[in-house]
Amino acid sequence: MIGRLNHIAIAVPDLEEATKIYRDTLGAKVSEPVPLPEHGVTTVFVDLPNTKIELIEPLGGQSPIAAFIEKHPKGGMHHLCYEVDDIYEARDRMVELGATIVGTGEPSIGAHDKPVIFMHPKDFAGTLIELCLLYTSPSPRDLSTSRMPSSA
């Protein structure tokens, strides 16, 4: 069902410092910071030839990744994102197989204005999994804008 690895997300306490590591030390191409207040994070995307790294820093007092940063003060891998052809079909399959979808259970709009769902790490070898829809026109369905989950 899953396709390409879309990105690996790394939660960091200091986005500027993490951006410097990727840009200056590792010599990668990095984006400008993008604040996503509705998800409680600011993101920087690192472009690699075969995938992306999403650096995420808590934004605001209610950030869903604040607890993660507390547990991992220097930052750490937060989730993996895989591409799927049909986010609703993927969601239905996950529900049918008994996996726990984080949040409302409905796809929300992720960092690239595409619908995403997050699946609980307890069902996926201890790793928070994001599934994202790519390469399709916007869905006619009414998408909720639930928050990025705080688990993992």
In angstroms and rounded to an integer, the radius of gyration of the C-alpha atoms of the chain is: 15
How many C-beta atoms lie closer than 10 Å to residue 58's C-beta?
21
CB of 46 to Co ion, least distance (A): 12
In the stretch 117-136, what mask flags binding to Co ion with x, by CB under 5 A?
A: -------------x------
Closest CA to 131 of 16, 3, 39: 3
21-29, 60-68, 77-85, 99-107 -> range binding Co ion (CB under 5 A): 77-85
Task: For residues 120 and 115, give the distance between their C-alpha atoms in angstroms, rounded to a whole number.
Answer: 17
Alpha-helical regions (H) of 6-105: 15-20, 66-71, 87-96
15-23, 67-75, 76-84, 118-126 -> range binding Co ion (CB under 5 A): 76-84
- Binding residues for Co ion, how many (CB under 5 A)? 4
Q: Is 53 in the site for Co ion (CB under 5 A)?
A: no
For residue 61, what are its two tokens?
């007092």
CB of 79 to Co ion, least distance (A): 6
Task: For residues 90 and 131, give the distance between their C-alpha atoms in angstroms, rounded to a whole number.
Answer: 8
How many C-beta atoms lie closer than 10 Å to residue 92's C-beta?
11
Active site residue 57: no
Q: Is 81 in the site for Co ion (CB under 5 A)?
A: yes
Residue 67 vs 129, nearer CB to Co ion: 129
Residue 54 vs 57, nearer CB to Co ion: 54
Give the residues lining the site for Co ion (CB under 5 A).
9, 54, 81, 130
